[in-house]
Amino acid sequence: MHSGEARREDGAPPERTRNVILQVDCLEGMRRLPDASVDIIVTSPPYNIGKIYHTHNDQLPRDHYLAWMGDIAQEAGRILSHEGSFFLNLGGKPSDPWVPFDVIQQFRPHFTLQNVIHWVKSIAIEKADAGNYDAIRSDVAVGHYQPVNSNRFLSQCHEHIFHFTGSGAVPLDKLSIGVQYQDKSNIGRWKHATRDLRERGNVWFIPYSTVRSRRAHPTTFPEKLPEMCIKLHGYNRHTVVLDPFMGIGTTAIACLRLGVGYIGFEIDSYYCSVAEERIQDFKAETLTDS
């Protein structure tokens, strides 16, 4: 990878590494990147809750794990552009719900926490609570979660996505992930409501799909998650997205779908090979469709 230069006059970044997934320790990979050279970071690190990965040990001593997350935060702060966004997906486990809150303290010296997003995997809505919406005809329970076998703990139906920026003042393209008004009479009533689209807010329902490739890895996120983060930040064809914990390439697929560049690091050779396979499959499908 090459060293940092200024952007060109047409706004494009100088030629730089794009669309690669390297099998490397992410700290080492990030240290090879120039200052302020990525526009968006979207990632989900290991949560240190004893998941069985191919190579990574997900049961590090807590202080060791948190110090590692602190090193990641510091390096991310250096390579993220000044107007960039870092979306950090974190969860815990029912018996250890402190994980996300402990980890973000490690990010505090390096970033401003601009938004906290709740990624909802499963939700139950009772008709009586929903009010007078034609679309909801009965009680509904949608999505999937891993049920916990305990009379003390609740099953985890959501995780966090922490949105960090340098200044806390990075403008977002909120309507790019907007939702239609239920009550169409709101269109035109509010000065800002000129079309049938309102802000989604910070609760995102994104269910898991049942795609086959998920079985190759214990902790993937759905493709829609990085896609929504990238859209929310705003992007163009020069945008470069980094996922330092690329797993089986979900962020890379989202980037290909949106036509933005990606850089991924992943320590495990098997996950890297599954990611490459998924990328090739995606490209083949896109060619067939066009």
Ligand X SMILES: C[S@@+](CC[C@H](N)C(=O)[O-])C[C@H]1O[C@@H](n2cnc3c(N)ncnc32)[C@H](O)[C@@H]1O
Q: What residue ranges bind ligand X (CB under 6 A)?
A: 25-26, 44-46, 53, 56, 217, 219-221, 245, 247-248, 250, 265-268, 271
What residues pair up with 198 in beta bridges, in sequence order? 179
Least gap, CB of 30 to ligand X (angstroms): 9
Least gap, CB of 278 to ligand X (angstroms): 9
Least gap, CB of 71 to ligand X (angstroms): 10
Backbone angles phi, psi at 27, to 5 degrees: -65, -40
Residue placing its CB nearer to ligand X in the complex, 13 or 255: 255
Nearest position to ligand X, beta carbon: 247
Kindly list the distances between the CA atom of residue 86 and the CA atoms of 126, 127, 245, in Å, as whole numbers in the listed order: 35, 37, 13
Cα(180)–Cα(160) distance, rounded to whole angstroms?
A: 24
Least gap, CB of 147 to ligand X (angstroms): 21
SS3 206: coil
Q: How many CA atoms lie within 13 A of 80 on its CB side?
A: 27
Task: Give the H/E segment covering residue 179.
Answer: none
Residue placing its CB nearer to ligand X in the complex, 80 or 252: 252
Residue placing its CB nearer to ligand X in the complex, 45 or 166: 45
Here the tokens at position 268 are 């495990």
Cα(192)–Cα(52) distance, rounded to whole angstroms?
A: 48
What residues pair up with 173 in beta bridges, in sequence order? none
Residue placing its CB nearer to ligand X in the complex, 47 or 166: 47
Here the tokens at position 72 are 């990641």
Q: Are 119 and 69 in contact (CB under 8 A)?
A: no
Residue placing its CB nearer to ligand X in the complex, 84 or 247: 247
Cα(290)–Cα(286) distance, rounded to whole angstroms?
A: 6
Residue placing its CB nearer to ligand X in the complex, 39 or 268: 268
Least gap, CB of 75 to ligand X (angstroms): 12
Q: Are 85 and 139 in contact (CB under 8 A)?
A: no
Least gap, CB of 125 to ligand X (angstroms): 27
